[in-house]
Amino acid sequence: MIEMKVAGIALDAMTRSPIVLLKDSSDRRALPIYIGQEQAKSIMGALEKQTPPRPLTHDLIVNMLEAWNMTLERIIIHALQDNTFYALLIVRHGEVKKEIDARPSDAIAVALRTNSPIWVMEEVVADASI
């Protein structure tokens, strides 16, 4: 697995669709993932350390994790099938660890809010990186 960081949000020149761009620590590889407008806003808000007046969906998830004394250990973008990325939230509560299926954009938005690492499987990077 490769740990990656969010480099930012870009727009596809042709479709104007938002893309979250992940980069490895050496900046040698970048992984573009197309996302929705709302997820792009949420990720940008987290990158800019904005606090909304009321919790938005990703803030609510973080609040629930904190209320139940759970921690997000990391997220893993583990598969790419038919141009669709798949991710997992790795959540711990005491000695119990759970893997929760998530869209990569949602997983990234929550990871940014909890300062959790973002990991990508080698084969996904090999198939989709630029």
- pLDDT tens per residue across all 130 residues of the chain: 999 999 999 999 899 999 999 999 998 899 999 999 999 999 999 999 998 899 999 999 999 999 999 999 999 999 999 999 999 999 999 999 999 999 999 999 999 999 999 999 999 999 997 7
Instruction: Note whether 3 and 123 are within 8 A (CB).
Output: no
What is the model's pLDDT at position 27? 86
What is the model's pLDDT at position 14? 92
**Crossing angle of the two packed helices 104-114 and 57-67, in degrees rounded to 10:** 60
| pTM of the complete model | 0.94
- Neighbouring-strand partners of residue 74: 90
What is the model's pLDDT at position 4? 97
